[in-house]
Amino acid sequence: MRGREQLAAFDPGGLEVLEADLAAFEAALQRENHTLKRSLTDPHLFSGIGNAYSDEILHRSGLSPVKLTQKLTAEEVERLYQATRATLVEWVERLRREAKEGFPEKVTAFREDMAVHGRYQLPCPDCGTPVQRIRYAENETNYCPKCQTQGKLLADRSLSRLLRQDWPRTLEELEQRMRRT
């Protein structure tokens, strides 16, 4: 492969959020009706937002990863836009500082200074509630039930199907069950 033209053939066309205004962000976000997590990580919609950064963006915005994009209010879209930009700028600056002038040596999606990604059962830095996760395929979504889902636990498809009625719906229910065992 040689040249920008050949390289461009591999570009899925996602929006460069740091170069976009709120209107362009909203148009990309609401192009299809998906969950926020799925939309943020879709390279056809947004460029450069992977699993880890989407968790951090959603935590910063205080939005549930399973909320549907077309159900967002104008205030929520703007909050998500601001959180996306702030999170990406913050992490680009951190990673550049770490790499200095060299090539990044330790590239990992799990970083101790992240708020929720990879921090299952550790305290949320904002409220102290244990971070929860849902797994699907080879990915996971990490979130704070208090900050993002009004205390509701999100269902892990396979586990919640297995447990059915025994699946805890709230953090309080989960804590009660854990105390009993």
Tens digit of each residue's pLDDT (9 = 90 or more) over 3-49: 777 655 555 568 999 999 999 999 999 999 999 999 999 999 999 89
Mean pLDDT, all residues of the chain? 85
Cα–Cα distances (Å) from 12 to 9, 56, 122, in that order, read 8, 23, 35
Identify the CA nearest to 61 among candidates 23, 87, 39, 42. 87
Task: Give per-residue burial for 47-84: e unless 16+ CB within 10 Å, then b.
Answer: bebebbbbbbbbbbbbbbbbbebeebeeebbebbbebb
Could you tell me the fold of the domain covering 3-180? Helicase, Ruva Protein; domain 3 (1.10.8)
- pTM (global) more than 0.85: no
Cα–Cα distances (Å) from 1 to 5, 10, 14, 43, 44, in that order, read 9, 11, 21, 21, 22
Unique residue bearing structure tokens 């447990």: 163
C-alpha span between 154 and 150 (Å, rounded): 11
Domain extent listing, the chain: 3-180
Mean pLDDT within 124-136: 92
C-alpha span between 9 and 123 (Å, rounded): 43
Mean pLDDT within 112-127: 93
C-alpha span between 138 and 16 (Å, rounded): 26
Instruction: Report residue 160's pLDDT band, with 50, 70 and 90 as the boundaries.
Output: low
Cα–Cα distances (Å) from 118 to 71, 82, 140, in that order, read 27, 23, 9
C-alpha span between 181 and 176 (Å, rounded): 9
pLDDT of residue 139: 79
